[in-house]
């Protein structure tokens, strides 16, 4: 029977169970992927003690063999599950319900009777049509006679088991023929035999909200900078980029989609580094609305007026002060009087100085005459 199969990791996987009153898994589907090793392992199998618990064996196949942990490929691969029961006796347990459950679970059952095997029991457990799933031989010694018939029937129902197909990855039985298919993440080439890896991140092939990253025939989703992946591992949500510790703005952080920009408080301006701020001159031309004088006061300013003017109630414009004008006129008069007095005193002093010079000259002349006498 092994010779009729295309044995391999990516073709037909085979497990062998030994049963009597108990059940033993001799090797699971994940153990051997070549016929030589598999047949060598079969040759070392020893019969168990007496008993024919066929129902128990089929149940064990469902529970212990057809699991991904033991080598069954994922259900989405759509690879047929087949059980071949070889027995020479009558089941000693309720095989009908167990076999029905197995068939409902998608397991195709072939029943091979040897010697005194109960044909009715074989027909109860086998899949339909029975004439393609029930076999009989007189003794184990002539079971090889069954090979040709088994190959013809088994492969007619499942051409992929014959081992003559040329599918690179998956073979799918199609009545008396077959079709090639590919594993998930691959697509069938135009030759209908070989497969090529597909771009699982191509538009329409993935469910990622923002970024799709190919990962060995599958993919994972990621998000743009400023976004975080939601628990569904597909969609993204914008992060609060202005949360404490997430930005480097000196004063004000403003969210901008999934990013941010820096700004400054009133009275400050953003520096060229776009992060830090400097105080602005509020009294610089064009920054204030004072009519005459702008006075800085930390981050603000107040308006004032020139001498002789007073600030209006609007705190911005100025008006000439009447009192200041009077004071100015008086002061101007005083200045003129003082200037006139100074001129008078200067003139008198100059006249006295001239007279002193005359007296001095006369005295000198008198002294000179005395010396001559």
pLDDT tens-digit series, residues 53-105? 999 999 999 999 999 999 998 887 778 888 999 998 889 998 999 999 999 99
pLDDT at position 129 is: 86
Check residue 30 and give its pLDDT. 93
- Split at pLDDT 50, 70, 90, the class of 326 is very low
- What is the architecture of the domain spanning 240-280? Ribbon (2.10)
Q: 70 vs 20, 27, 29, 73, 133, CA distance in Å?
A: 22, 9, 6, 9, 26
Name which of 274, 278, 300 is nearest 287 in CA terms.
300
Global pTM exceeds 0.85: no
pLDDT in tens, 194-230: 988 888 888 877 889 999 998 776 789 999 887 889 9
Question: What pLDDT is attached to residue 37?
Answer: 94
Q: Taking all residues of the chain, what is their mean pLDDT, rounded to a whole number? A: 83
240-280 and 283-324 agree in CATH topology: yes
Q: Domain locations in the chain?
A: 2-155, 240-280, 283-324
Give, in order, the Cα–Cα distances in Å from 168 to each of 172, 196, 227, 229. 12, 10, 42, 37
CATH topology for the 2-155 domain: Rossmann fold (3.40.50)
Strand partners, 84: 110
CA 240, CA 257: separation in Å to the nearest integer?
Answer: 9
335 CB burial (10 A radius; 0-12, 13-18, 19+): exposed
**Which alpha helices (DSSP H) does 44-130 contain, by range?**
54-60, 95-104, 119-125
Q: What is the pLDDT of residue 151?
A: 62
Q: Higher pLDDT residue, 138 or 27?
A: 27
Looking at the predicted structure, is the pLDDT value of residue 164 above 80? no
**Domain covering 283-324 assigned CATH 2.10.25.10 in the classification:** yes
User: How high is the pLDDT of residue 15?
Assistant: 95
The per-residue pLDDT for 232 is 93
The pLDDT of residue 286 is: 78
CA separation for the pair 58, 89 (Å, rounded):
15
Q: Quick one: pLDDT at residue 153?
A: 57
Instruction: List Cβ neighbours of 365 (8 Å cut-off, separation of 6 or more).
Output: none
Q: What percent of the chain has pLDDT over 90?
A: 32
Share of the chain above pLDDT 70, in %: 85
3-class SS of residue 349: helix
């Amino acid at each position: 029977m092994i010779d009729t199969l295309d044995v391999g990791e990516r073709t037909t996987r085979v497990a062998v169970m030994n049963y009597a009153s108990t059940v033993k898994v001799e090797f699971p589907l994940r153990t051997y992927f070549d016929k030589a090793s598999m047949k060598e392992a079969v040759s070392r199998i020893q019969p168990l003690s007496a008993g024919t618990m066929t129902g128990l064996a089929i149940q064990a196949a469902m529970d212990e063999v057809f699991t991904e942990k033991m080598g069954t490929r994922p259900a989405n691969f759509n690879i047929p599950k087949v059980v071949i029961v070889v027995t020479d006796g009558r089941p000693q347990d309720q095989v009908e319900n167990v076999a029905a459950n197995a068939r409902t679970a998608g397991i195709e059952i072939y029943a091979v009777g040897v010697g005194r095997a109960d044909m009715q029991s074989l027909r109860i457990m086998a899949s339909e049509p029975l004439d393609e799933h029930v076999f009989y031989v007189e003794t184990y010694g002539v079971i090889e006679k069954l090979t040709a018939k088994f190959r013809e029937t088994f492969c007619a129902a499942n051409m992929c088991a014959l081992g003559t197909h040329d599918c690179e990855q998956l073979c799918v039985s199609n009545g008396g023929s077959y079709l090639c298919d590919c594993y998930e993440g691959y697509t069938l080439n135009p030759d209908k035999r070989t497969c090529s890896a597909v771009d699982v991140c191509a538009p329409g092939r993935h469910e990622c909200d923002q970024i799709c990253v190919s990962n060995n025939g599958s993919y994972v989703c990621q998000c743009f900078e400023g976004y975080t992946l939601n628990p569904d591992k597909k969609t993204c949500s914008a992060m609060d980029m202005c949360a404490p510790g997430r930005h480097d703005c000196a004063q004000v952080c403003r969210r901008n989609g999934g990013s941010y920009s820096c700004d400054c408080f009133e009275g400050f301006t953003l520096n060229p580094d776009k992060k830090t701020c400097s105080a602005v001159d509020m009294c610089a031309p064009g920054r204030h609305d004072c009519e005459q004088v702008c006075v800085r006061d930390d981050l603000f300013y107040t308006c004032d007026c020139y001498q002789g003017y007073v600030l209006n109630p609007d705190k911005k414009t100025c008006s000439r002060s009447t009192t200041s004008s009077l004071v100015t006129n008086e002061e101007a008069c005083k200045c003129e009087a003082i200037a006139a007095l100074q001129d008078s005193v200067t003139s008198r002093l100059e006249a006295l100085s001239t007279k002193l010079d005359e007296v001095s000259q006369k005295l000198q002349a008198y002294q000179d005459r005395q010396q001559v006498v």
